[in-house]
Amino acid sequence: MQFGIFIYDGVEPIDLATFGVLSMARRIAPDIAICTIAPRSGTVSLANGLKVIADFGLDDAPPCDLVIVTGGPGWTAQAQAPATLAYLRRIHASGRIASVCTGGMILAASGILDGGPATTKREVVPPETAPLEMMRASYPRIDVREAMLVDRGGLVTGGGVSLCIDTTLHLIAGMLGQQVADETARILEYQRAWRANRDGFAPVLTAQVEP
């Protein structure tokens, strides 16, 4: 099963926990394959100086069973990048797509969140404006929710920063089974945190929403 992680200049390194959770899940489900996709293949400069190598660019990205769009300060540029938005629309039209943190703002800009519920990062350092409020103000066709994640079937948006771990576990449960997700959480030593987040900041689970 092929998972793609969409990255770009300015991604917060913590959002690569999406890759880390999938990496740990491979110990239980070895058929998992993971690649990184960026606007262009090669070096990507994440927030605060970390550099990683993207396996593929938009033009040569392989078919994926799921693409996860990461977040970080660079989201503003990607939300205005026609090639990125077109790629995300193609993925949504043909398969599963998810976002974590402000990756949801890029999905919002692509239009694929219109007509249903979604979430994104809400906690910021004053005087920053919460992305959740920006989504609510800028995209009136989205039913913006404060939630750990929103699952609309083949379209999942996750909350901010460390909730990328919870979102990735949720995606694993849906695609590979709850046992795989639970065992991944165990070896991550994340069971208690995952349970506490679900109890205190419940996900929004809906049927597939037609735009």
pLDDT band at 208 (very low <50, low <70, confident <90, very high): very low
> Average pLDDT of 114-138?
96
Taking alpha carbons only, the member of 160, 115, 99 closest to residue 133 is 160
Q: How far is Cα 186 from Cα 101, in angstroms, rounded to an integer?
A: 23
Instruction: Kindly tell me if the per-residue pLDDT of 75 is higher than 60.
Output: yes
Instruction: Kindly tell me if the per-residue pLDDT of 41 is higher than 80.
Output: yes
> Residue 195, Cβ neighbours under 10 Å: how many?
11
Residue 44 parent element (H or E): strand 42-45
Write the pLDDT tens digit of every residue in 190-206: 999 999 999 989 999 98
> Average pLDDT of 164-172?
98
What's the pLDDT score for residue 207? Answer: 56
The domains found in the chain, sorted by start residue, are: 2-205 (3.40.50.880)
**Residue 152 token pair:** 């609309």
> Average pLDDT of 136-149?
97
Write the pLDDT tens digit of every residue in 11-29: 999 999 999 999 999 999 9
> Residue 123, Cβ neighbours under 10 Å: how many?
11
Instruction: Kindly tell me if the per-residue pLDDT of 179 is higher than 60.
Output: yes
- Which spans in the chain are helix H? 17-25, 75-78, 82-94, 103-110, 131-138, 163-176, 178-187, 191-200
Q: How far is Cα 42 from Cα 55, in angstroms, rounded to an integer?
A: 7
Q: How far is Cα 103 from Cα 105, in angstroms, rounded to an integer?
A: 5
Residue 194 CB burial class (10 angstroms; 0-12, 13-18, ≥19): buried
Mean pLDDT, the chain, as a whole number? 96
